[in-house]
Structure 1
Amino acid sequence: MRAANSHFGKHYINGVWTTPKGAMIDVENPATREIFARVPDGTPEEVDAAVAAAQSAFPSWSSTPLAQRIALMEGMLRRFYEKTEAVIELEVAELGAPVAFARSKHCLYQQKRTAAFIAAARSIAADEAFPASLVMREPVGVVAAITPWNYPLGQIIQKVVPALLMGCTVVLKPSEWTPLTAVLLIEAFEEAGFPPGVLNLVQGYGETVGEAMTGHAGVDLISFTGSTAVGRRIAGRAAPMMKRLILELGGKSAAVWLPELEGHEAGRMAAKKVLDSLLLNAGQTCTALSRFLVPAEKLQTAEALLKSVLADYPMGDPTDPATRMGPLISGAQFERVREYIASGIREGARLVAGGLPPEPGADDGWFVPPVVFSDVRPEMRIAQEEIFGPVLSVMPYNTLEEALAIADGTQYGLCGAVFGPHEAAVNFARRMRTGNVYVNDASRDLAAPFGGFKSSGVGREGGVFGLLEFTEPKAIFEHGS
């Protein structure tokens, strides 16, 4: 690891890297359990200062022409490109992401996402004329952006870039588990010439900094990604002040193998798509396809394919280019996932691959090998609750109506997938109560909206949809001439 960045130990408030007033938080490499950096344990007073800076910067920034904001964002992206190798190194160190995945998904894909937001912003008209009125989009105001640890850079890009493009100002709190990539991104914004106060960074714990941000009278919109339980608490805090909300929360996504799916290669494609979704971030993905619904008569075929494809996901040292699966983020997450595996065994699910991982030694990382359960019943905890680990539930069904009921039979509705002949798969996808559905080997479209139904959240991110979430429509009624 290259020398530590001196900004790691500071907040960024009103264009200045500030020395913290409180204690420091250790940052652990989850693959080695080495403490390799420290960040500030922010205070409510530092949140006050950051919000005040964002409020002060808002009038000028919101009146800056969109073309000028886009030009500044393009400059930030150029500096982001220059930091590519440093970002990848940090994603490996603070998250334990395998280096190849850190490069492709955690860094290069996020650069594409930034470029997609810039392109989408160009398509937004400032005003829309109606026969007797003019409708304009105005920025909401000060945004509190609170991001999770599982995609440290991507989740910041999803919130900060559209908010700034639309003329909002931002106070950012990244996860205390993966706080360092945010520093590199803030540096790119600073180097690009973004004005002081437009973007502010306060490091710290959710219980202190996050609580201070979500309850702050100076915050107009809260954009949060994390658990449904925390999302509900944030919504409760926001309600008395009528704060706008964008909540991207939990998921328990189902992949459905249709009866018409035939052939070894088609079945292998489905198994690989499911395991890619589940394992490449060690199961720590809100959209992970953690339930695989299979026709009962094809259950053994699906199990054999999954066991075969599992060989393509070697787990180990994230710095090794051959590694495809790294550790979980922390000891707490290790224990959480271990307990879910134990509950699956207790409730009678049948192990097809993996099992209860042993407790790691003092110097071992938080590694959990992939676990595949079969004959999982819909009422089991492993079929209902978000595990956030490499645990797959294979669930047999007898009719399409039963498959749909199982797929929709959780509190979540974030993502799904359907494998089968195109028309049949699209028809089934239309019926699923979920915000995003992949058909066969399709990939995400950065222009499309991302978000969930039911307890998976409120609002949408991505493309024009994600940009407009940071605006308020205003109607001006004009007297006809």
Structure 2
Amino acid sequence: MPTPGLTVADPAAASPGAPSPVRPMDAPAAGLSVASGPTVTGHYVDGVLVEGARSGGTPVHDPATGELIGVTGHAGPATVARALAAARAAAPGWAARPLAERMRYLDAWRERLAAAADALTELVVDELGLIPEFARRVHVGRAVGCLEHLGELAEAVLTPRREGTSLVVREPAGVVAAITAWNFPLHMLVSKISSAIALGNTVVIKPSEIKSLAAWAATRLLAQVGLPPGVVNVVGGTGPEVGAALVAHPDVDMISFTGSREVGRSILATTATTITRSVLELGGKNPALLLPDASLDEALPGVLGSCLFNNGQVCGAQSRLIVPRALLAEVEERVAEIVDRTVVGPPRAAGTGLGPVVSAAQQARVSGFIADGLSSGLRLLRGGLGLPEGLPASHHGGYYLRPTVFTDVAAGHRLAQEEIFGPVLTILACDNVDDMVAVANGTRYGLTAAVWSADLDRSIAVARRLNAGQVVVNGGAFNLAAPYGGVRESGNGREHGREGLAELTEVKSLQLPA
């Protein structure tokens, strides 16, 4: 991905407190590979990288083979307390710096991430079991991409505006506690940190303990850019320990969480006593509507691509395909052909189209949904239980699943209502567009949706009727500059874009004399 050059002012001419000039890394990939043995991740607290302990940590396995490749070090209560105290102490000085100064640090981080793209890609492949091209383009690409126009968006959010005799300003929220999910560990860490500190906040972030290697590598690169101590603090550990401690702490002004609906509810219950604001992204059960005039040649590959995106483990996956009943037979035939062409296997093997899910626990969870569909009499179009055919014996210890499609599923069935987070698609048939909209809106979720029609205006009209925070219209591409988030039990607030950045600020009105 092309990365704009970094311009650093002469240190002699720099303003007091400005970062020192940043030299390009001599060996940007040094130390980022896990090839030499299991990596133990640590913590970054008050400007210091702290070594993590192998004992008592969470093992990180290569999902393609089951091999141990790392250990997530766990922060104790004292480390968490130091991180929060450091963030609180650094908050006034960091907020007082001009946006341009804050962005110079983030530009330097972006440069390092881009230079280390090869090594970061290998880490993502190793810990998530993804095809290398996808890991580089999506995981590493989005981590770098979210920094490229951040300064412009932040300036738009922070620019004061007049409302009659009032001046309305946005100021940093303060200390932000951020918690990431395991399915996009690199991008989420970079995005949550950069969005918060660009606006003048300080951060204490807990990466997912399940997949922490790429996030730790990015943290080590951030430690090289010379941030003032305490502006960013990264603490490893589990949700019930570190995550819960962050959420409940009175020094936290804002919470940014991506994860399960159950944990989101727990956060809301905890913050009811502290009145701490939160942005929660809690997943979805996302519908794709094929209107009667939709092109199946374009729509079906798009829907299957979304459902199997990130090995089926993405909150925005289009996992419910809603079609006109008159087209059901043709849709089934074409979907079966696409699935039959999808090769499941080792991520680095030529021709592989789908890798494993992330862990043995996730493999068991998704298999449980498939077993439920089979036992309840759903019509299985493709897939089912067991390892995929042709999988090399050397990978039988990996966490592979067969891409599975159930068809003509009732709208109220568990597989059409609950987020599976795996390569499982349900096809639902309706008699008219109004019924399709009703079925699409008939879950507790509302994160994303998709609409396909030969008539763009018709697609947009139907999209406006869907209860979702984001709707993909006729295959429109994901845009990091647009807000992302859900309604209903998919969460509250937004990330990305101006709206997402605005969530990390507080609004103040200055009532001026007439």
Q: How does the TM-score come out when normalised to structure 1?
A: 0.95
Question: Aligned AA for 2:81?
Answer: D
Q: Distance in 2 between matches of 1:331 and 1:23?
A: 20
Asked if 1:16 is matched to 2:45, the reply is no
Give the alignment partner of residue 307 of structure 2, picking from 251, 259, 278: 278
How far apart are 1:110 and its partner, in Å? 2.5
Matching residue of 1:424: 458
Give the alignment partner of residue 451 of structure 1, picking from 485, 491, 505: 485
Asked if 1:305 is matched to 2:334, the reply is yes
Equivalent pair of 2:41/2:212 in contact (CA under 8 Å): no
Equivalent pair of 2:387/2:402 in contact (CA under 8 Å): no
Structure 2 SS opposite 1:393 = strand
Q: Distance in 2 between matches of 1:4 and 1:135?
A: 54
Give the alignment partner of residue 328 of structure 1, picking from 334, 348, 357: 357
Q: Distance in 2 between matches of 1:384 and 1:391?
A: 13
Structure 1 residues 4-42: Cα deviation after superposition (integer angstroms, max 9, x where no partner): 699843211001112347732221111111111122122
Equivalent pair of 1:117/1:462 in contact (CA under 8 Å): no
Q: Distance in 2 between matches of 1:81 and 1:146?
A: 24
Q: 1:290 to 1:135 in 2, by over 3 A?
A: same
Matching residue of 1:292: 321
Matching residue of 1:89: 122
Matching residue of 2:476: 442
Give the alignment partner of residue 29 of structure 1, picking from 47, 57, 62: 62
1:63-462 paired onto structure 2 within 5 Å: 63-261=96-294, 266-320=295-349, 322-357=351-386, 364-420=397-453, 421-462=455-496
Asked if 1:475 is matched to 2:504, the reply is no
Give the number of aligned pairs: 476
How far apart are 1:304 and its partner, in Å? 1.0
Structure 1 SS opposite 2:312 = coil
How far apart are 1:476 and its partner, in Å? 1.6
Question: Unmatched 5+ residue regions in structure 1?
Answer: none
Equivalent pair of 2:99/2:151 in contact (CA under 8 Å): no
More deviation in 115-124 or 24-33?
Answer: 115-124
How far apart are 1:321 and its partner, in Å? 5.0
Structure 1 residues 444-464: Cα deviation after superposition (integer angstroms, max 9, x where no partner): 222211010100011001111
Structure 2 SS opposite 1:145 = strand
Q: Distance in 1 between matches of 2:399 and 2:441?
A: 32
Question: Aligned AA for 1:351?
Answer: L
Structure 2 SS opposite 1:144 = strand
Structure 2 SS opposite 1:103 = helix
Question: Unmatched 5+ residue regions in structure 2?
Answer: 1-32
Structure 1 residues 193-214: Cα deviation after superposition (integer angstroms, max 9, x where no partner): 2111111111111111111111
Equivalent pair of 1:252/1:414 in contact (CA under 8 Å): yes
Structure 1 residues 240-272: Cα deviation after superposition (integer angstroms, max 9, x where no partner): 1111100001200000010122xxxx2021111
Question: Aligned AA for 2:179?
Answer: I
Structure 2 SS opposite 1:26 = strand
Q: Distance in 1 between matches of 2:369 and 2:458?
A: 34
How far apart are 1:2 and its partner, in Å? 4.8
Asked if 1:464 is matched to 2:498, the reply is yes
Q: Distance in 1 between matches of 2:194 and 2:79?
A: 23
Structure 1 residues 58-111: Cα deviation after superposition (integer angstroms, max 9, x where no partner): 111111111111122111111111110111011011111111110111111331
Q: Distance in 2 between matches of 1:2 and 1:31?
A: 15
Structure 2 SS opposite 1:324 = coil
Q: Distance in 2 between matches of 1:107 and 1:119?
A: 21
Structure 1 residues 367-421: Cα deviation after superposition (integer angstroms, max 9, x where no partner): 0010010010011100000000100000000011111110000000001101112
Q: Distance in 2 between matches of 1:114 and 1:478?
A: 36
Q: Distance in 2 between matches of 1:64 and 1:6?
A: 40
1:42-57 paired onto structure 2 within 5 Å: 42-57=75-90
Structure 1 residues 417-439: Cα deviation after superposition (integer angstroms, max 9, x where no partner): 01112121111101001111111
How far apart are 1:312 and its partner, in Å? 4.3
Q: 1:352 to 1:363 in 2, by over 3 A?
A: closer
Structure 2 SS opposite 1:476 = strand
Q: Distance in 2 between matches of 1:7 and 1:339?
A: 32
Q: Distance in 2 between matches of 1:332 and 1:155?
A: 22
How far apart are 1:114 and its partner, in Å? 1.9
Equivalent pair of 2:49/2:220 in contact (CA under 8 Å): no
Q: Distance in 1 between matches of 2:418 and 2:248?
A: 28
Equivalent pair of 1:7/1:183 in contact (CA under 8 Å): no
More deviation in 76-85 or 358-367?
Answer: 358-367
Structure 2 SS opposite 1:412 = coil
CA-atom RMSD in angstroms = 1.9
Q: Percent identity?
A: 39
Question: Aligned AA for 1:442?
Answer: G
Q: Distance in 1 between matches of 2:249 and 2:396?
A: 41
Equivalent pair of 2:120/2:217 in contact (CA under 8 Å): yes
Structure 1 SS opposite 2:177 = strand
Equivalent pair of 1:368/1:390 in contact (CA under 8 Å): yes
